[in-house]
Every structure is written in structure tokens, then in C-alpha cells.
């Protein structure tokens, strides 16, 4: 089964896979109590050198990386959230660099957790490795594709051969019946490639395509985001694709896409019940720190991978308490506390803006998302 997430902030050079069919919608899930997804950056070690890597991954693990015993305790802390249990995404760096990966996956399953993995597309991601991940109960995988050709993709990923490794991994996953989400960076360096990437993905059996709108943190500071006007055009185009694509089309770190989708669904005359069942609606109300929690390779707790605002550490703090009661998380749970136009926007509850982008640009996670071109029409929430 795929990820329980339609709009979750990505955490590595390979953002996470997709919407879990048992996702809780709206009031059915209190995101101020239990996150839907927890992202664990298992290691910084990675064989790629992606130009937009949030983790600034390196070839070797961090010397203070959580060890196996500490990692087992982390899993128990995640399970202590109780029902509804968060979905755990193992990311990095490259999770395959952890020698204890399969032991940790098995322990997570024993505790009742569901697991997805975002491995780096290197020569290590063989058919045998994918088969082993499936045998250990991994529900879905996330892969990244930032160009329709080897030259364009590898210009972003930094390693020759990773285009072919990515396509091969997607093909092998399809043979094994493992759901795949493909993630594509949206930046000035890649936006002209989006139509060609879409055409390529139609030839590969994927579950979902997520457009990740650049957040300027880590190595991503070296790339250029698209303008708000261009971003709006891309989101309109993405919604048009949802009418014909053989897979789900979604966004990451562009929650204003929810407004675009809602407006377009209203134009189509869809009823409230029909809109609630639409795939894009499954991410409504989820945002950095509200439905999402991130654990770094050294145990730091943050609202999201692209919102590196440390609120505690699993070595000394209880993550359930941090998520529910720390001042930062409590503010992020409350859209009426947001500032500027995000704080008065009629879409503030279902969208809320990218808290990570607000923090990256202003140093304040409660400020307005500078990427959104929309001007609020009312001060009341939907």
C-alpha cells in the first residue's frame, strides 16, 4: 500500500511516496494530536550529490547518528502515539547505507507501524534489494526524476548513471508489484522539462507523480525557484493533468495547489462529497508540523525536513510530548496564529501556506508563504 500523504513536505533528495488508502480525512484525524507521517532521516550517508539536497548528504554517516539501540527506542516512541498510528517514512541520505535497516523495519512492523522507504537511485538499488524490501513488508518506495534524459537528470543529481538506475528501479519495482511515487523538482532549472518528464512517466508503471516546489535550504540555496506567477501556471497545468494522467498527480511544498484544485473542482460543478473523495483533497489541512514530524539522523525533532527548527531530541525528549505540546508545534497546529495574508486567508485551514518556505525566507515559520500569488478575499476560514 502507498504512503498516507498527498502534500507532505519532503525530507531528502528523494521526497516521499504517496497517499495511503486508509488516510484519515478532515475531522476524522486530529493532526494536533497525532501526525499522519513521520519522516526519519536514518543517515546522511549517500552515494549521490544532488544540487538541491536538504540533508547536504555526504559519503559517510554522521559520527553522532542514532545507533541501533537508540533507533529501536525511536520506533517505540513513534508507536506510543497510538491510534491512528503514524506512517513511518525512512529517508536520508540513503537508508540502504544503514547496516541495520532490515532489523529496524522488522521491529517497526512488530510495533504495528507501516513503512515506506526513499532509497537513493544508485547502482546499489538492484532487483534483489527491491525484492528484499518487499519481503520485509515495505509498502511503497519514493524515487526522484528531474529530467527526461540522462543529461538533464544527472545535471541535478550529480552522478553519472543515476538516470538509468532510476528508470531501472522503477521498472523492477513494477515487476515486483511495489507502488512507486516519482518526485520531480520544480525550479527554474527544471520547469521546462516537466511535460517531457510526464510523457516519460506514462511509459513507466508508477502510482503517483509529485511536483516538489523548491525550498531554498541546504544545497537548494544554489538553485532558483520559479516565480509565484509561473508556479500558479504550473499548478493549473498539474490540475489539468489529473483529468487524463494514468497516475495521481500531486505537489510537495506547494499547499496553495489545494486552493487551485478546490477552485477548479467548484468550476466543474462537483459536489462537496465528490470533492472530499478526490485524491487531491486527502492532503487538506496537512502542513509542516501539523500532520508531519521529522527526525534527523542525530535525533533532532523538527516540524519537517525543510523546516529545520529543532524543538527537541529523541535522546532526551519524548517525541509525543514535543509534537503535541511544544510551543513551535502548537503554533503550527493553529492557522489563526499565522501572520500576514496567510493568517487571514479564507483557505488558511486547508492550505496554510508552506511553513518551511516562510521560515526559509523570513526566519519565522508563522509568516506568509512568499510563493503564493493569491490575495485573500475574506478573513474567515472555510
**Residue 270 is part of a domain; what is its CATH number?**
3.20.20.70
pLDDT digits (tens, 9 = 90+) for 287-346: 999 999 999 999 999 999 999 999 999 999 999 999 999 999 999 999 999 999 999 999
Residue 352 counted as domain residue: no
| Residue 278 scores a pLDDT above 90 | no
50 confidence band (pLDDT: 50, 70, 90)? low
Q: Is residue 37 part of a domain?
A: yes
Q: What is the pLDDT at residue 280?
A: 78
Instruction: Please report whether residue 9 resides in a domain.
Output: no
Residue 115 above 50 pLDDT?
yes
Q: Which pLDDT does position 9 carry in this prediction?
A: 37
Segment holding 40, helix H or strand E: strand 37-41
Question: Which H or E run contains 51?
Answer: none
- Sign, Cα dihedral of 59, 60, 66, 72: positive
| Predicted pLDDT at 51 | 55
Does some domain include residue 210?
yes
Domain range for 120 is 26-324
**Residue 318 CA: distances (Å) to CA of 30, 127, 342:** 19, 38, 31
For residue 47, the model assigns a pLDDT of: 73
Residue 338 lies in a domain: no
Q: How many CB atoms lie within 10 A of CB 225?
A: 21
Average pLDDT for the chain: 88
DSSP H or E stretch at residue 17: none
Q: How many domains does one find in the chain?
A: 1
Decide: 100 and 61 in contact? Cβ < 8 Å: no
Does some domain include residue 21?
no
Do 317 and 298 meet the contact criterion of CB atoms below 8 Å apart? Answer: no
**Secondary-structure percent of the chain, ordered helix, strand, coil, rounded to 5:** 35, 15, 50
What's the DSSP call for residue 287? B
> Residue 351: what pLDDT?
93
94-98, 100-104, 157-161: which has the minimum mean pLDDT?
157-161
15-24, 26-35, 264-273: range with lowest mean pLDDT: 15-24
Give the residue-averaged pLDDT of 245-274.
93
Amino acid at each position: 500500500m502507498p504512503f498516507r500523504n498527498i502534500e507532505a513536505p519532503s525530507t531528502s533528495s528523494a521526497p516521499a511516496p504517496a497517499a495511503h488508502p486508509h488516510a484519515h480525512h478532515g475531522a476524522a484525524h486530529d493532526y494536533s494530536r497525532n501526525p499522519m507521517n513521520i519522516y526519519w532521516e536514518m543517515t546522511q550517508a549517500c552515494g549521490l550529490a544532488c544540487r538541491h539536497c536538504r540533508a547536504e548528504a555526504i559519503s559517510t554517516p554522521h559520527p553522532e547518528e542514532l545507533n541501533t539501540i537508540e533507533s529501536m527506542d525511536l520506533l517505540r516512541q513513534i508507536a506510543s502515539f497510538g491510534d491512528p498510528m503514524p506512517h513511518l517514512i525512512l529517508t536520508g541520505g540513503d537508508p540502504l547505507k544503514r547496516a541495520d535497516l532490515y532489523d529496524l523495519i522488522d521491529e517497526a512492523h512488530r510495533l504495528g507501524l507501516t513503512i515506506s522507504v526513499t532509497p537513493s537511485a544508485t547502482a546499489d538499488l538492484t532487483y534483489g534489494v527491491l525484492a528484499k524490501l518487499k519481503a520485509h513488508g515495505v509498502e511503497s518506495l519514493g524515487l526522484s526524476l528531474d529530467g527526461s534524459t540522462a543529461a538533464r537528470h544527472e545535471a541535478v543529481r550529480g552522478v553519472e548513471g543515476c538516470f538509468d538506475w532510476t528508470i531501472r528501479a522503477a521498472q523492477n519495482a513494477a515487476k515486483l508489484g511495489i507502488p512507486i511515487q516519482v518526485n520531480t523538482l520544480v525550479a527554474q532549472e527544471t520547469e521546462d522539462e516537466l511535460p517531457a518528464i510526464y510523457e516519460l512517466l506514462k511509459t513507466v508503471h508508477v502510482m503517483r507523480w509529485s511536483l516538489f516546489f523548491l525550498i531554498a535550504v541546504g544545497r537548494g540555496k544554489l538553485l532558483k525557484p520559479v516565480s509565484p506567477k509561473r508556479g500558479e501556471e504550473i499548478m493549473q497545468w498539474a490540475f489539468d493533468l489529473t483529468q487524463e494522467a494514468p497516475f495521481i498527480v500531486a505537489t510537495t511544498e506547494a499547499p496553495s495547489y489545494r486552493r487551485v484544485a478546490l477552485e477548479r473542482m467548484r468550476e466543474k460543478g462537483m459536489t462537496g462529497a465528490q470533492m472530499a473523495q478526490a485524491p487531491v483533497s486527502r492532503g487538506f489541512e496537512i502542513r509542516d508540523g501539523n500532520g508531519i514530524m521529522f527526525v534527523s539522523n542525530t535525533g533532532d525533532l523538527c516540524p519537517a525536513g525543510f523546516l529545520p527548527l529543532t524543538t527537541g531530541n529523541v535522546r532526551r525528549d519524548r517525541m509525543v510530548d514535543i509534537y503535541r505540546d511544544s510551543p513551535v508545534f502548537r503554533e503550527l497546529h493553529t492557522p489563526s496564529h499565522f501572520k500576514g495574508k496567510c493568517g487571514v486567508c479564507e483557505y488558511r485551514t486547508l492550505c496554510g501556506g508552506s511553513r518551511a518556505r516562510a521560515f526559509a525566507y523570513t526566519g519565522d515559520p508563522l509568516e506568509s508563504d512568499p510563493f503564493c500569488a493569491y490575495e485573500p478575499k475574506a478573513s474567515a476560514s472555510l
